[in-house]
């Protein structure tokens, strides 16, 4: 039985073409700045996203951490959504390693933070009682808000407000290319207004490792020093960067397939009694490849049915998903390049069997 792994889009395996590109990569010592493949990746990504320079890093978490450390000093305050990946899922790195004070603001259902909430949260820097507000962080697509894509107009408004208030903007664009494809706009349009942006190669783009941090030349110069500080200096890493270049050439436009598969999965889930798919109502054109749904066992006279039970039953059918949340009701499934369109029917059949089993 073929396993269908929907836990994340990080579970993809390199294709034969990607493996060949990695094997044939020209490499050098990147700590000395001698790896030509890394340089090529950084230059291409910076140009694609409308920034002056870029830095290859080991992971999205490392890229976000380096960005926050570059923008904010000890005791400075950053503003970010209460559901932001940098706040929820990155082990408190900015506070633990940078002594940066996080001020979380309410994320709306669509992943945005209200502009008035940002403006009202900015501190009076002349008052010694307060930390200094220096940065706003936004996330596109927004993971915990269902993988919805933030519009370019909203990003423009956040950047304009932040810059008027003397703040920088960091964009956690782990799945920025998903947003660009979903919205039908160039990735540059979503990234150029921010002072820094991090994008992952190891999610929807299908590379095994790596992310890229973009910004001004001055910013990336400081980020390079910080990368070394956190242990991110790597040597003949062009072997990995080659996978990123291959992904940029082959795996961006095909993200639309993942979005289509996710939409079909959402539609099917919404038709299964006992499962609730909020993304099915209302229909949003900017949903991407993240599918969130909840288990309501009481609706089918199974009060003990929860996401953990469903996940275990799905595993017996060769389908993997992730149960989430303290209430044990929510699940997440993520479509990606290793998930075929015909797999969606298999997953839905497995979900029906998992729910109906008593």
At 88-126, the pLDDT tens digits run: 999 999 999 999 999 999 999 999 999 999 999 999 989
Q: Are residues 317 and 236 in the same domain?
A: no
3-state secondary structure of 285: coil
Q: Are residues 102 and 23 in the same domain?
A: yes
Asked if residue 8 belongs to a domain, the reply is no
The CB-side HSE value for 353 (13 A sphere, CA atoms) comes to 15
Of 250, 270, 287, which one is at a domain's C-terminal end? 250
At 257-309, the pLDDT tens digits run: 999 999 999 999 999 999 999 887 665 668 999 999 999 988 888 888 999 99
Q: Is it true that the peptide bond before 282 is cis, omega within 30 degrees of 0?
A: yes
Asked if residue 3 belongs to a domain, the reply is no
Asked if residue 132 belongs to a domain, the reply is yes
Identify the residue with better confidence: 252 or 357.
252
Asked if residue 238 belongs to a domain, the reply is yes
Asked if residue 10 belongs to a domain, the reply is no
- 62: tokens are 């490392």
Asked if residue 94 belongs to a domain, the reply is yes
**Residue-level pLDDT at 337:** 96
Q: Are residues 200 and 293 in the same domain?
A: no
Give the whole-angstrom CA distance, residue 318 versus residue 5. Answer: 8
3-state secondary structure of 334: strand
Q: Are residues 313 and 246 in the same domain?
A: no
At 65-86, the pLDDT tens digits run: 999 999 999 999 999 999 999 9
Of 250, 284, 304, which one is at a domain's C-terminal end? 250
Domain interval for residue 31: 16-250
Q: Are residues 222 and 258 in the same domain?
A: no
Q: Are residues 306 and 166 in the same domain?
A: no
Angle of helix 238-250 relative to helix 16-23, nearest 10 degrees, comes to: 140
Instruction: Please give the full DSSP string across 226-269, using - where no structure is assigned.
Output: HHHHTT---SSTHHHHHHHHHHHHHSSTTHHHHHHHHHHHHHHH
What CATH number has the domain bearing residue 316? 3.90.1150.10
Structural domains of the chain, count: 2
């Amino acid at each position: 039985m073929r396993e269908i792994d929907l836990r994340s889009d990080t579970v993809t395996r390199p294709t034969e073409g990607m493996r060949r590109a990695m094997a044939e990569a020209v490499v050098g010592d990147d700590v000395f700045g001698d790896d030509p493949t890394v340089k090529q990746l950084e230059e291409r990504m910076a140009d694609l996203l409308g920034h002056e320079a870029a830095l290859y890093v080991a992971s999205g978490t490392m890229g976000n951490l380096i960005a926050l450390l570059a923008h904010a000093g000890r005791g400075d305050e950053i503003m970010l959504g209460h559901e932001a990946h940098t706040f929820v899922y990155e082990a408190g790195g900015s506070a633990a390693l940078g002594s940066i004070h996080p001020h979380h603001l309410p994320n709306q259902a669509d992943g945005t933070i209200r502009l008035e909430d940002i403006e009202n949260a900015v501190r009076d820097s002349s008052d010694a009682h307060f930390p200094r507000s220096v940065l706003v962080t936004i996330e596109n697509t927004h993971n915990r808000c269902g993988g919805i894509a933030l519009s370019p107009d909203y990003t423009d408004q956040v950047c304009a407000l932040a810059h008027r208030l003397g703040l920088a903007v960091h964009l956690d664009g782990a799945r920025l290319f998903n947003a660009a494809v979903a919205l039908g706009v160039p990735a540059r349009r979503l990234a150029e207004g921010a002072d820094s942006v991090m994008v992952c190669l190891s999610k929807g783009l299908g590379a095994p490792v790596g992310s890229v941090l973009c910004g001004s030349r001055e910013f990336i110069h400081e980020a390079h020093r910080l990368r070394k500080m956190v242990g991110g200096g790597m040597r003949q890493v062009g072997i990995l960067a080659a996978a990123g270049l291959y992904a940029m050439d082959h795996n961006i436009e095909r993200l639309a397939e993942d979005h289509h598969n996710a939409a079909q999965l959402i539609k099917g889930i919404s038709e299964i009694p006992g499962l609730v798919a909020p993304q099915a109502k209302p229909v949003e054109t900017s949903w991407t490849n993240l599918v969130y749904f909840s288990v309501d066992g009481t609706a089918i006279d199974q009060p003990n049915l929860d996401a953990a039970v469903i996940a275990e039953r799905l595993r017996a059918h060769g389908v993997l998903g992730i149960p989430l949340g303290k209430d044990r009701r929510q699940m997440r499934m993520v479509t990606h390049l290793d998930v075929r369109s015909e797999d969606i029917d298999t997953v839905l059949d497995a979900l029906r069997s998992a729910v109906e089993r008593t």
